[in-house]
Amino acid sequence: MPGTDRRVVVLNAGSSSLKFAAYPPDPEAPPLLSGAVDGIGNSAHLKIMDADGRVTHDIAVSASDPHAAMAILAGLKDGPLAGDLAAFGHRIVHGGPDLDRSVVVDEATLARIEAVSPLAPLHNPPALDVLKGLQKRFPRVPHVACFDTAFHRGHPAVADRFAIPDSLYQEGVRRYGFHGLSYQYIAGAMQTKAPEIAGGKVVAAHLGSGASMCALMDGHSIDSSMGFTALDGLPMGTRSGSLDAGVILWLQQQKGWSVDRVEHFLYHDCGLQGLSGLSNDIRVLLASDAPLAKMAVDYFVYHIARTAGALAVSMGGIDGLVFTAGIGEHSVPIRARVLARLRWLGFDVDETANQRGQGRITASSSRLRAYIIPTDEERVIARETIGLLSGRWLTVC
């Protein structure tokens, strides 16, 4: 029987952060602790909270990459990697054409993830570095990989394909969609937090430094703003969003840019940062009087509203809208401005509710309903990990 500290540790690695949570073998229980190492590679900072939300660690650390951040966590006697480790669950952004569900990690799985890592250069490589590092430190603890692309794999062909030869589609060049773990959580959470729209046609907006939107019909993804890579769709903090492919050809042919330079440009120098020339942080842009900062915010709002309309077409209608993730959950003005642009569809914002920042934020007279639902990708990973491993390595409470 597992001890009282038996835990499943969830890890969500990015290029500059490592989020984590340790759960008991019941995925619906509160996490034993949670937190993140942010600012990796620059001014890294570790914050850990216990099950009651109390901060137990709030310190500067030295971490050059996510693997180094993982090593710091491993050295904490009261950190997420202490105690009786039952399993690790990992967010893997891109699963490619073959990995269409969560899987127990083996050598073949690792090879498949590595093969598609060039399609998610900011996310897959650091996640793999953390996973492999943990395998060396804890060789007997199993790992589960949970893919952001998996939730979107049931899209109809017209939403799944590009207008390119079928031979390339068969090689895996298709629209995958991302933030699937977030949308999977939102689809389930709507059952209790927004039951009036849960079984209908809903546009979910995951708005953060990375941003996308998803068309949900009865809780199932049927279309997404992101495509082959996490560059597509909405403008993001530093990523371009949708871009005419001819721009890439022009940069290479007329300016002589190399492939590596183009890749760095699209992932790091575009989006809100590129438009404003000031910051990739929406809070900074909203507070600025600079004309380009104002334009960047307008552009962001415009494309969120435009994409909501397009996804409504994908579903043949719309019953509601859900805001989630960092900007979606916390930015009062962005939500208000998006709903103002969508008022013609039937969204009438309740300013008081929007300021309160939770639950339904449209007026009682509004024909359509909008909600704020905080996402919880880590809990989805815990559910998937425990579901796959129960009966093998875990005794579920």
Q: How far apart are CA 339 and CA 288, in angstroms?
A: 22
Catalytic residue flag (residue 148) = yes
The residues, any chain, with a CB within 8 Å of residue 103's CB and separated by 6 or more, are: 109, 144, 145, 388
Catalytic hit among 148, 232, 319, 376? 148
Q: How far apart are CA 16 and CA 148, in angstroms?
A: 18
Tokens read off for 105: 């990690």
Contact 263, 273 (CB under 8 A): no
Contact 394, 25 (CB under 8 A): yes
Tokens read off for 316: 């043949």
Q: How far apart are CA 58 and CA 276, in angstroms?
A: 32
Q: Please choose, from the candidates 68, 84, 21, the residue with its C-alpha nearest in 3D space to the C-alpha of residue 382.
A: 21
Q: How far apart are CA 271 and CA 263, in angstroms?
A: 13
Q: How far apart are CA 357 and CA 343, in angstroms?
A: 19
Among all residues, which ones are annotated catalytic? 148
